[in-house]
Chains A and B, each alone.
Chain A
Amino acid sequence: MDNSNISLYAFRKYGDMVLRAAYACCGCYAEAEDIAQDVFLQLHATPVEFEDDEHMKAWLLRVTINRCKNYRRSFRISRTQPIDEENSGMYSMDTTDIEVRELIFSLPPKYSAVIYLYYYEGYQIKEIGEILGKNPNTVNSLLQRGREKLRMELSEENKPTKRGSVRRT
C-alpha cells in the first residue's frame, strides 16, 4: 500500500473520528477541521506502517490530541470565542449544544482529551494511558479533574427522582 493509499484509507475510515476527537479537545469546529487536515496530511507526507486498523486508530487519536495541545497555544492575533457555528452551517445547534461546546472550549485539552476517549470512544483507563503515553494513574487523575471542571453528570444511570411538585399561586 503506498503512501496515498494509507492516508486516504485512514481518512475514509477515520476522518469523522479524527474530526470529533479534535473538536472534543478544542471545542471549535474550524480549529478541528484544521487539525484533522494536518493529521492526515502529516500521515500522507510521512507514512506510517500500522499493524492493524486498531493500531491506526490509536495512532491517529494520539497525533490528533497532541496537535490539539499545540494548536490552542499557537499564534492568534486576538483570542475570540468560537464563531457561531450554527451560522457557519456546520450543524444545527440547540441550546444544549451551545452549552456543551462552550464547556468543551473552556476545558484545557489535556482534560478534554481523556474525557473524550473515556466517555465517547469508550476506552478504559489503561488503554487511554497507552494511547496517550501516560501512566494510568495520571489518566485517572486527569479524568477526575476534567469531570470536576465540567461538573459533568457522568453516572451510568439516572435513578428516578423523587421531587415535590411546585404549585404556584
Chain B
Amino acid sequence: MRKDDYKKHIDKISCTEEFRKRMEQQLTSESGGEYADSVSTVERAGRINYHRWAGIAASAVLLAGIGGIAVHSMNNVPDVPGSSLSDTTATTEAEIGVTTGDYKLEVSIDNYDFPTENIGTIPDEAADEIIKTLKEAVWEKTDTDIHFRNNREDIYEEYDENTPEEELGVLYVFNITCTGAEEFVYSIGFNGHSYLFYEGEEAYYFNGKETYFEIMDIVAATFIYREPETYSDPLSQKAAQLFYSNKDIIKPNAEQSTSEYCIYTGLSAGPYNILIDKTGLINVRYEGLHNEEKVLSYDSSPEFANDVAALMGVDFESEEPTEATTQPTDMTINGKLESLLDNPDFIENGNLSYHTGSGQFSSSYDIGKVGEVGGEEFIKLLANYEWVPAEDLDYMRSDFIMIGYNYGVISMGGASISVNNKGELYDHSEGVLYRAENVNIAELEQAYESAVISDNYTTIAYSLCTRGDDFTTLESDISIYYDPLDETGENKPVNCTGKMYYKNITNDATKDCYGDYYYILSDAESGYSGEMYKQGRYWAFIERENSIAKGFYGWERHFEDYRLFSREDYTLSGGYDNYDAINIDYDMLCQEALYTLMSRNDDYINVLDEELIIGQFSNSFKLEYNHIGENNEENIEYSEILEFKVTGMGELIYFSKSRHNLETGEITPYLTFRMCDGECIDMDGTGYAPILDNPDFAIPAASEELAKEFELINGT
C-alpha cells in the first residue's frame, strides 16, 4: 500500500448528510438515553464464593456472546509462591487517583483465552465500592515486568517460543475504565497474586489474592449486562435476548462434558462457536493460546435448545454429529491412533491438512482425504512409536500436518492429531504435546511423500516443513500472477506458470538452514518469462525476454531486458504465500542495484549468460555505515550480510540484509556495494558506502575459479 493511496482513501471518508442530521438532532437534545447512569442499590459482596461467581460468569459467556472469566480455570488457579516475588521494592500504597463519583466505570474482563470488552457496566455505588477496595488494599510495588496481554497475538509478538507459559502474562485481567476529566484504565490481573497496573504510570503493584476476588465479587453481584437492544444486528438482538431471558437456567456443566451431538448453531462471537444438542447441553468451542482446541460446557434445557434451533434454523434430527467417533477421554494417544485406523468412517472422511504460520498470518492447505492420500500408512508409522506426554510446553511451535475432520471451521474432535517437522505429536482435544524416542524424521517424511498424490505446492510445503536436505528433483507446477510496469509505465498484468524447484542450504558453521526456491516461469502466450530467486528472506525476480533461459537448469536463456522485484518474506518456514500483484512490491534499492548490476552494458549482459553463483555468508561480519556524501547520517547500521554473488566478470557483489536507521527505527532492505582494494564502493550512486569493521574479513580474489569454489563451499 502506498502512502498516497492510503491518504487518498481516507480522504474519501466523510459524514453523510443523513448522519450529520441525525447527530445534530441528538446533540441538541437533552442528555440521557443509553448513556445515562443507572442506579441501583448495592450490597457489598461477601467473601469469595467460587461457585457463585462461576455461575454468573458462565452466563456471561453466553449472554453477551463474549466471555467472562473462563469458568473451568477458576478451580485450577495456580498458587504462586510468595518467594517468586521476592524481588519487589519497598512497599508502597498505590495511589488510586480517582475522585469518587467523578467517573463511570465500564467493566471488561480479559484473559488470553477469553478476551472480552464492554460486556456491560456496573452502577456507581458498585464502582465506589471497587475504588474503595483498591484504595484500602496494600499494594507492593514490583519491578517485575508483568505483562497484561489481551490476546494471543500480543503474546506471540512480545515473547519467543521458549518463554514459559507462566511468564507470558497475567491469566485474568479485570479492566476498569474511568471516564471523566480524563479516561484511564486500571487493570487488575491475577496470576496467583493480584496485580494492579495503571495505564500511564507503567508501574506494577501486587498483593495477595483477596483484593482481586473481592472486586470480582462486587462485579458479580452488581453487573448490568449490555442490553440486547443495543446490538445493531437484528439477529444478534434476538439471540442476545434469547440468552438473556434464559440466563437463570444456563449453568456451567459440572463435568465439562462434550458431546458429539452438539451441533453448530451458527452463533458465534469472534472465535467462539456455540454448539448445542437437543437436551440443552451447550459446548462453546474456541482455540486456545497455542491453537489447541478448548471447550466450555453449559447446561440449559431442551426448551431452550429448541428455541435456539428455531431462531437459527437448525434441525437436530438432520444435522450430522460433529464428531464421528466418541473416544473415551482416558484413551492414550497411541490408542487414539490405533482407533483411527480401525474406523472406516475416519479413513473415508477424515482428512490431512498442512498448517503453517501463526496468528493472523497462519495458513492452512488441504492435502486430501486420509484414505485417498495414503494417510493410513502415515498414521501407522506414527502409531508405531511410544508417545509420551512432553513435560514442557504443550503446543506445536512449528508447521504441522493435521489429521482430523475438517468442517470448514477448524479441525476438531477427538480425531484431531498433528505431527510437526520435529517429530512431535499433538492431541488437539486434550491440548497435550507428545514426544517419542528415536523418531525417524526421514522415515516419516518418506512415508508421507510416497503416499501423497497431490502435485501442487502442498507437497513442496510439507517437504519444507520437514526440512528435507535436497529436493532439487522435487518440482511442482506453480502459477504466479504479477503486475509489472511496462515501458509506458502502465501495469500489464501477467499470469505465469512454470516449474519450481527447491534446494535446502545449510550453513555448516552456524547450522542455519535456508531454503532456496528457484522458479522458472513462462508465459506461453506472450513469451514472457523470468526467474525468481529466494535468498534468505528476500526474493529477487529477474524478468527475461522470451520463454527460454539457459544455464544451470538446462534452459536456453535469451534476454535483453530485466526487472528486479523484491519482497520481504516474513516466514522462514515452509509454506507459501499468495503471489499476486499486491505481494510483489518494488524495492527502490533493489531496482537501483539491478540497474547498476545489469546496466545497459553489453559486458554485463554477456555476464548474465554465465552462471550466477549464489553463496551465502551468515553472521560473518557487521558493517558500520558511514555516509560519505553531503548528508551525514550517523545513525545507520547494517545488519550482517547474508548473501553475495560473484559474477562471471569476477566482481563480488554484496547484498546486505537490511539498513537500519537507529533513530527512526526504519528498516529498508538491500544495499549493493562492491569491494575493491579493501574498500566498499558505492554502486547505486547514492553516495553511501559501508565501512567494514571486521578486520578478519578477507576479500577474496574474484575469479571464475573462485566463484566455483564458493559454490562448492556453499556458504562457508
| A contacts, CB < 8 Å to B | 3-4, 7-8, 11, 15-16, 19-20, 23-24, 29, 32-34, 36-37, 40-42, 44-46, 48-49, 62-63, 66, 69-70, 73-79, 90-93, 96-97, 99-101, 103, 106, 108, 115-116, 119-120, 133, 135, 140-141, 143-145, 148, 150-155, 158-159, 161-169
Q: Using Cβ atoms and an 8 Å threshold, which residues of chain A touch B262?
A: none
| CB neighbours of A46 from chain B (8 A) | 35, 104, 179-180
Docked complex Cα distance between A34 and B360 (Å): 25
Closest chain A CB from B485 CB (angstroms): 6
Closest to B202 in A: A135
Q: What's the minimum C-beta distance from B517 to chain A, rounded to whole angstroms? A: 19
CB–CB B179/A20 < 8 A:
no
Expressed in whole angstroms, the Cα–Cα distance for A48 and B64 within the complex equals 30
State which of A16, A99, A161 has its C-beta within 8 Å of the C-beta of B591. Answer: A161
Q: Are A74 and B66 in contact (CB under 8 A)?
A: yes
Question: Which residues of chain B from 442 to 500 have any CB-CB distance to chain A below 8 Å in the complex?
Answer: 484-487, 492
Q: Which residues of B contact A99 (CB under 8 A)?
A: 1, 5, 582
Contact of B13 among A29, A44, A133, A140 (CB under 8 A): A29
Decide if B317 is an interface residue (CB 8 Å cutoff).
no
Name B1-55 residues within 8 Å CB distance of A: 1-3, 5-10, 12-16, 19-20, 22-24, 26-29, 31-33, 35-36
Q: Are B179 and A42 in contact (CB under 8 A)?
A: yes
B223 within 8 A of A: no
Which of B165-173, B324-332, B559-567 has 4 or more CB atoms under 8 Å from chain A? B559-567
Q: Please tell me if the beta carbons of A19 and B14 are within 8 angstroms of each other in the complex.
A: yes
Q: Contact partner of B595 among A76, A141, A151, A162, CB < 8 A? A: A162
**B527 CB contacts on chain A under 8 angstroms:** 168-169
Q: Give chain B residues whose Cβ lies under 8 Å from the Cβ of A24.
A: 10
Complex-state Cα separation, A10 to B233, whole angstroms: 28
Q: Are B31 and A45 in contact (CB under 8 A)?
A: yes
A20 and B11 CA atoms in complex are apart in Å by: 8
CB-CB contacts below 8 Å: B264-317 with A? 266-270
Partner of A106 from B202, B360, B562 at Cβ < 8 Å: B360
Q: How close is B622's CB to chain A, nearest CB, in angstroms?
A: 21
**In the complex, which of the residues A16, A40, A103 contacts B27, with contact meaning CB atoms closer than 8 Å?**
A40
Cβ contact within 8 Å between B486 and A166: yes
Contact call B270/A79, Cβ cutoff below 8 A: yes
A168 lies within 8 A of B180 (CB): no
List, in ascending order, chain A residues with CB within 8 A of B15's CB.
Answer: 15-16, 19, 36
Query: From residue B170, how far is it (CB to closest CB) to chain A in Å?
Result: 18
Contact B560 A167 (CB under 8 A): yes
Q: Which residue of B lies closest to A157 (CB)?
A: B588
- B13 and A23 contact, CB distance less than 8 A: yes
11 contacts between A and B (CB under 8 A): A40-B26, A41-B26, A44-B31, A46-B180, A69-B117, A97-B12, A108-B153, A108-B360, A167-B545, A167-B560, A169-B546
Nearest chain A CB to B116 CB, angstrom units: 7
With beta carbons under 8 angstroms apart, the residue of B2, B116, B486 that contacts A153 is B2
**Are A120 and B10 within 8 A (Cβ)?**
yes
**CB-nearest residue of chain A to B179:** A46
Distance between A159 CB and nearest chain B CB, rounded to angstroms: 5
Residue of B nearest to A78 (CB): B268
* Chain A CB within 10 Å, residue with most, of B2, B10, B528: B10
Which residues 478-533 in B have Cβ within 8 Å of A in the complex? 484-487, 492, 526-528
Q: How large is the interface on B (under 10, 10 to 19, 20 to 34, 35 or more residues)?
A: 35 or more
| Residues of chain A lying within 8 A (CB to CB) of residue B35 | 41-42, 44-46
Chain A residue with Cβ nearest B525 = A168
B563 and A77 form a contact (CB under 8 A): no
> Once bound together, how far apart are the Cα atoms of A63 and B291, in whole Å?
33
In the bound complex, do residue B65 and residue A76 qualify as a contact, i.e. CB atoms below 8 Å apart? yes
Interface string of B551-586 (1 = CB under 8 A from A): 000000000111100011010000000000011011
From B234-242, B336-344, B350-358, B414-422, the one touching the partner chain is: B234-242
Is B200 an interface residue when CB atoms closer than 8 A count as contact? yes
Most-contacted residue by chain B among A70, A75, A140 (CB, 10 A):
A75
Q: How far is the CA of A43 from the CA of B267 in the complex (A)?
A: 34
B1 contacts A97, CB within 8 Å? Answer: no
Q: Please, which residue of chain B has its CB at the minimum distance from the CB of A110?
A: B154
Q: Are A151 and B591 in contact (CB under 8 A)?
A: no
B64 touches A75 (CB 8 A): yes
Nearest 7 interchain pairs by C-beta: A164-B561, A165-B487, A45-B35, A162-B595, A169-B527, A70-B117, A75-B65
Q: Are B487 and A7 in contact (CB under 8 A)?
A: no
Q: Please tell me if the beta carbons of A96 and B9 are within 8 angstroms of each other in the complex.
A: yes
Query: Does A153 lie within 8 Å of B3, measured CB to CB?
Result: yes
Measured between beta carbons, the chain B residues less than 8 angstroms from A97 are 9, 12
Looking at the complex, which one of B118, B183, B267 makes contact with A77 (CB distance below 8 Å)? B267
- With A23-B13, A41-B35 as known contacts, state yes or no: A75 contacts B240, CB within 8 Å: yes
A3 to B177, CA, bound (A): 22
Q: Assuming A75-B269, A77-B269, A166-B486, what are 13 further A-B pairs, CB within 8 angstroms? A: A15-B23, A41-B26, A41-B33, A45-B32, A49-B181, A70-B117, A75-B236, A77-B233, A100-B6, A133-B199, A163-B563, A164-B543, A169-B526
A82 to chain B, nearest CB (A): 13
Q: How far is the CA of A77 from the CA of B272 in the complex (A)?
A: 10
Assembly CA distance A113 to B245 (angstroms): 38
Q: Compute how far the CA of A20 lies from the CA of B12 in the bound complex, rounded to whole angstroms.
A: 9
Q: What's the nearest-Cβ distance from chain A to residue B100, in Å?
A: 16
Whether the pair A73, B268 counts as a contact (CB closer than 8 A) is no
Chain B residues within an 8 Å CB radius of A169: 526-527, 545-546
Answer whether A91 and B12 are a contact pair too, CB < 8 Å, given A166-B486, A169-B527. yes
Partner of B115, one of A73, A140, A152: A73
A residues in contact with B269, CB < 8 Å: 75-77
Q: Which residues of A lie under 8 Å from residue B31 when comparing CB positions?
A: 3, 44-45
Q: Taking the nearest CB of chain A, how far is it from the CB of B16, in angstroms?
A: 7
In the assembled complex, the Cα of A39 lies from the Cα of B472 at a distance in Å of 59
The reply to whether B199 and A159 contact each other, CB–CB distance below 8 Å, is: no
The answer to whether A4 and B27 touch across the interface, beta carbons within 8 angstroms, is yes
B231 at the A interface (CB under 8 A): yes
Q: B323 near A: Cβ within 8 Å?
A: no
Cα A36 to Cα B7 with chains together (Å):
20
CA A137 – CA B568 in complex, angstroms? 24
Whether the Cβ atoms of A70 and B567 lie closer than 8 Å is no
B232 at the interface (CB under 8 A from A): yes
Chain B, residue nearest A150 (CB): B1
CB atoms of A166 and B567 under 8 A apart: no
| B543 touches which of A36, A45, A166 (Cβ 8 Å) | A166
Whether B665 sits at the interface, judged by CB under 8 Å, is yes
Is the C-beta of B617 less than 8 angstroms from some C-beta in chain A?
A: no
Scan residues 79-104 of chain B and give those whose CB is less than 8 A from a CB of chain A.
Answer: 104
**Closest residue of A by beta carbon distance from B19:** A33
- Considering the complex, give the chain B residue whose CB is closest to the CB of A66: B183
Is there an interface contact between B268 and A103, defined as CB atoms closer than 8 Å? no
A167 to B560: give the CA distance in the assembly, Å: 9
Compute how far the CA of A157 lies from the CA of B13 in the bound complex, rounded to whole angstroms.
25
Residues of A within 8 A of B546 (CB): 169
Cα(A162)–Cα(B590), bound, Å: 10
Q: Which residue of B lies closest to A125 (CB)?
A: B664
Q: Are A75 and B28 in contact (CB under 8 A)?
A: no
The reply to whether A119 and B268 contact each other, CB–CB distance below 8 Å, is no
Kindly list chain B residues whose C-beta atoms are within 8 Å of the C-beta of A144.
665-667
Indicate if the CB atoms of B588 and A161 lie closer than 8 Å. Answer: yes
Q: Taking the nearest CB of chain A, how far is it from the CB of B695, in angstroms?
A: 33
A112 CB, nearest partner CB in chain B, Å: 10
Which residues of A lie under 8 Å from residue B255 when comparing CB positions?
none
B22, chain A: closest CB distance, angstroms: 8
Expressed in whole angstroms, the Cα–Cα distance for A133 and B568 within the complex equals 32
B682 at the interface (CB under 8 A from A): no
Given the complex of chains A and B, what is the CA–CA distance between A101 and B592 in angstroms?
31
A154 contacts B3, C-beta separation under 8 Å: yes
